[in-house]
Amino acid sequence: MRGQNRFGLSAMKTLIAATIAGTMVLVSGAIYAQSVQTAPQIVPRVTGAAKPMGDVPAPPFPRPVTDDKRVMRNYPEQPPVIPHSIENYQLTLRANRCLECHRREYTEGSGAPMISVTHFMDRDGQMLADVTPRRYFCTACHVPQTDARPLVPNTFTDMKASGR
Ligand code: HEC
Ligand code: HEC
């Protein structure tokens, strides 16, 4: 009797374990099948011929604005934009084409506006006789303009509009 009982119990255990395992296989199979159907296909195929590289036409260069009209500044400390062409103007350690017109001594002949007083100050506020080294490379701050369309919309509002 005892032996029979024991045999019956372990047979039952095996049956239950087999049933649970079978159910798990079925359920996970169903979940897998569904996920394969709904998963977004963001991974490129690994097999098959690759697309050949094609030529992409470069967008045309935008036209520079060179109308010689000085542009209003959007706020008092703004470096004014350059209203003339600067093509082939040399700006190196040895040569500075900009200063040949904008340096104080040359403005009478060139008719160009003089670099402002801030351009003579070193970082301690000391006045120098000529342009300070930190203002030597003009195009670090002053840039010409083109007729290119802005890449993103601009929501800038003039400080006057803020009412102060
Ligand atoms: C041949 C002389 C000449 C040269 C060289 C020159 N400029 Fe000018 N620049 C002028 C004149 C003249 C103006 C006044 C507006 C006009 O006529 O274009 C001017 C205007 C400007 C303005 C606008 C100032 C304002 O208050 O709106 C900036 C900024 C400027 N130039 C920067 C430069 C930079 C930077 C370079 C060198 C890359 C340079 N310029 C080279 C003659 C020159
Ligand atoms: C570090 C930035 C910076 C550099 C570099 C710089 N500038 Fe300026 N520039 C400014 C700012 C800011 C202003 C307007 C406020 C002021 O006058 O300081 C200005 C103003 C000017 C003006 C208008 C002056 C006036 O009184 O209307 C001219 C012209 C000018 N710069 C020419 C030049 C030239 C030429 C060079 C190169 C030798 C140069 N700048 C280098 C920032 C710079």
Q: What is the pLDDT of residues 115-134, one digit of tens each?
A: 999 999 999 999 999 999 99
Residue of the CA atom closest to atom 22 of ligand 2: 115
The token pair that represents 142 in the structure block:
């002053």
> What is the pLDDT, as a whole number, of residue 2?
46
> What is the pLDDT, as a whole number, of residue 164?
62
Q: How far is the CA of 115 from the centre of ligand 2 (A)?
A: 6
Residues of the chain with pLDDT under 70: 1-16, 21-23, 25-42, 44, 164
Sign of CA dihedral 45, 46, 47, 49: positive
> What is the pLDDT, as a whole number, of residue 3?
43
Q: Which of 114, 117, 141 to mutate to test the pocket of ligand 2 (most atoms within 8 A of CB)?
A: 141
> What is the pLDDT, as a whole number, of residue 22?
63
Q: How far is the CA of 156 from the centre of ligand 1 (A)?
A: 25
Report the distance separating Cα 6 and Cα 33, nearest Å: 41
> What is the pLDDT, as a whole number, of residue 1?
42
Alpha carbons within 13 A on the beta-carbon side of 113 = 13
Residue of the CA atom closest to atom 31 of ligand 2: 115
